Each structure stands twice: as C-alpha cells, then as structure tokens.
Amino acid sequence: MMRVLVACLAMMAGQAAAGSKLMPISEVTEITKPLTAAAVAYEIEQGCPTIERRAIRVVIEGWKVAVRAQELGYSRRQIKAFVKSDEHKARLQQTASTIIAGTGVDTGDETELCAFGEAQIKSRTFAGRLLQVVE
C-alpha cells in the first residue's frame, strides 16, 4: 500500500520552479501527514487478517498527494529521493507504530489491532478510508 502511494507521488511530480526555495519535503505536513496515515493503515493491514487495503482508494489518495507535491513545486528528483529513502521509510513505519501504540493498542495483539482497524474504518479516518473489512 505504501509503495503505491509513494509511487504515485513520484510519478506525478513536476519540475520545481527554477531558483525557488523549498523546505525539505520531509517537513511538509501536507505530504507527510497522508503518508503517515497510509503507514498506519499498512501496519493495521499487516497485523490483521480480516482487514485489507482498498486498492483503488490507495491509488486515488496517492494521486492527490502527488498532485499537491507538484503544486508545491517539488521536482521529480526530489520526490523520488524522498520516497525511496530508507531513512524516510523507517521514520514513517516508526511514526505509525508510535501512533498506534499511543492509543494503547498492542501491535502484536491481533485482536486489539483488528479492533483498532475496525474503529478507524468506522470513524472514517484517513487510514480507515484506505481499509476495508473482509469476510
């Protein structure tokens, strides 16, 4: 799921305006917030056999993030470097784990993680909108 989002982000990136000063993409909340939520959804999907990603929704949201990155002026090279960065991927996964643990959910407990995922879906959080319960 994360790969789809970051791939869309990389594909849609346009060239930055010449001479523009941009903050590091890793500090742009409009980009990192949805990617972090996607990482939360990924953690839920990986730990809960009754929840899976909504593939089309993941692609749509990825395109939205990519379009926004393009509007902000990031180049294809900048975005590609960001999404392929092992440091960034590790930071996203760590942040997602911290977010989940911060709710009191034990990520190693399948029952707790599934209940958390179902609550995210019911509440229609960004992460929840990327997921669905399978029968």
The range of the structural domain enclosing residue 97 comes to 2-9+25-133
Query: What pLDDT does 62 receive?
Result: 85
- Separation CA 17–CA 73 (nearest Å): 6
* DSSP bridge partners of 120: none
Residue 88 lies in a domain: yes
Residue 47 lies in a domain: yes
Q: Does position 50 have pLDDT exceeding 90, yes or no?
A: yes
Residue 31 lies in a domain: yes
- Separation CA 84–CA 70 (nearest Å): 17
Query: What pLDDT does 13 receive?
Result: 42
Q: Which amino acid is at 98?
A: T
Query: What pLDDT does 2 receive?
Result: 60
Q: Does position 55 have pLDDT exceeding 90, yes or no?
A: yes
Neighbours of 12 (CB within 10 A): 18
The number of folded domains in the chain is 1
Q: Does position 63 have pLDDT exceeding 50, yes or no?
A: yes
Residue 14 lies in a domain: no
Q: Dump pLDDT digits (tens) for 64-109.
A: 988 898 899 998 788 878 888 999 999 999 999 999 999 999 989 9
DSSP string, 58-86: HHHHHHHHHHHHHHHT--HHHHHHHHH-H
Residue 17 lies in a domain: no
Q: Provide φ and ψ at 25, rounded to 5°.
A: -60, -30
Query: What pLDDT does 6 receive?
Result: 54
Confidence of residue 31 (pLDDT cuts 50, 70, 90): very high
Q: Dump pLDDT digits (tens) for 4-13.
A: 555 555 554 4
Residue 15 lies in a domain: no
- Separation CA 43–CA 45 (nearest Å): 5
Give the list of residues 6+ apart from residue 73 with CB closer than 8 angstroms, or none: 14, 16, 17, 20, 22
Which has the higher per-residue pLDDT, 33 or 75? 33
Question: For the whole model, what pTM was predicted?
Answer: 0.82
